Structure 1
């Protein structure tokens, strides 16, 4: 059961991580856009999701959307809710990296005829990502731990659900069961942290 829980938790984190990266990158580009409406949209996105508790976001996804006819499994509602919440933090991490790139890089790109989207994607973002590996890694490790809250919304099969099943449905003692759940999360987060350390060193050499 614990191995199955690790597998389901990894799936939730994988899907949420990819979606959060896509949305966070898009919102970061909005926040540094020369167009005021896009900057406003990016700022609003970050303000809403960064300052709204994850539990509220998940409640909205799981119980609010079905009331307007948007139905689906709790797995996808929880995964998307986690991705939306995490994307705000990914956006801010990337924006800090974008702001750290010297302005001369963008000016040189514009001087050779690149437009804003080309300058951002080809010149600025590749340099920005190198500087934000540590904070971005911290965001994703926090996301893995936040996946436990997703499990509380009836996803089923994840590590949180395994602990609930063993303690509530089967009457097992809480301490050893929860110790197993903690070990399951450590099995995910510790290798993730080590991998991020390797990536950070590789990027540091590449600079």
Structure 2
């Protein structure tokens, strides 16, 4: 296997990796705040809001992401009357599916972070005369994010790997280019290169989150 061949297919797969990275960035930027909103809704004093948020989280975590992607891409357009208005570009539909799915997982992570905070923190804040807003923003949220950060890191790495599901809805990402090269050239080298690219992406994420954990640890 020549070096030129490896460089050529690596270049084409890096084009696919751009789509992978773009999906990851869109999904992570949108899913984390949406997950936090879902956490607030799930803990709402309104039974209706709480029921809706918890039901949503249960459904999204209880069904495969692949099924959700297929439903959004191919199922929504089949809905009577409104289906024609729900046809989306495949990449847009995939982004929506990832955001909705991962928001549910991040919501559970944030809920765990809130549960880990001792009730004494709330009482101490009241004694200090802090308002509810000050207690939430200055005391509770920083501690919640500190506790949740390792789990957010793990979920983010999982998100990078799950981007390979774009292949199932015909979005040309990293795995698509690797599979095309394998079928064309009858060699497993493209799969190996794809694996290395995924490892490099997860390595960058791992190092980034470790730095964030150190920062929060010493604050």
CA distance in 1, matches of 2:161, 2:55: 25
* Partner-residue secondary structure (3-state), 1:72: coil
1:172 paired residue among 172, 185, 192: 185
Structure 2 residues without counterparts, runs of 5 or longer: 1-11
Q: Which runs of structure 2 are paired with 1:59-74 in the superposition (5 Å)?
A: 59-67=70-78, 68=83, 69-74=85-90
Equivalent pair of 1:78/1:150 in contact (CA under 8 Å): yes
Q: Quick one: which of 68, 93, 107 aligns to 1:91?
A: 107
Say whether residues 1:9 and 2:20 are aligned partners. Answer: yes
Which of 122, 128, 131 lines up with 1:114 in the alignment?
Answer: 131
CA distance in 2, matches of 1:185, 1:166: 17
- How many Å separate the matches in 2 of 1:21 and 1:33? 18
Quote the offset at 1:190 in angstroms: 1.0
- The TM-score, its normalising length taken from structure 1, stands at 0.89
Q: Is the 8 A contact 1:152 1:161 kept in 2?
A: no
How many residues in Structure 1 have an aligned counterpart in Structure 2?
Answer: 202
Q: 2:208 maps to what in 1?
A: 195
Whether the aligned pair in 1 keeps the contact of 2:182 and 2:189 (CA below 8 Å) is no
Gaps of 5+ in 1: none
Number of the residue aligned with 1:46:
57
- Alpha-carbon RMSD across the aligned residues, in angstroms, is 1.8
- Take 1:110 and 1:32, find their aligned partners in 2: how far apart are those partners? 20
**Structure 2 Cα separation of the partners of residues 36 and 119 of structure 1:** 24
Query: Deviation string for 1:5-53 (max 9, x for gaps)?
Result: 2211100000011111121111111122222222212211110000101
Instruction: Report the TM-score, using the length of structure 2 for normalisation.
Output: 0.85
The answer as to whether partners of 1:49 and 1:84 remain within 8 angstroms in 2 is: yes
Shift of 1:109: 4.9
Asked whether the 8 Å contact 2:56–2:104 carries over to 1, the reply is: yes
Partners of 2:134 and 2:163 lie apart in 1 by: 35
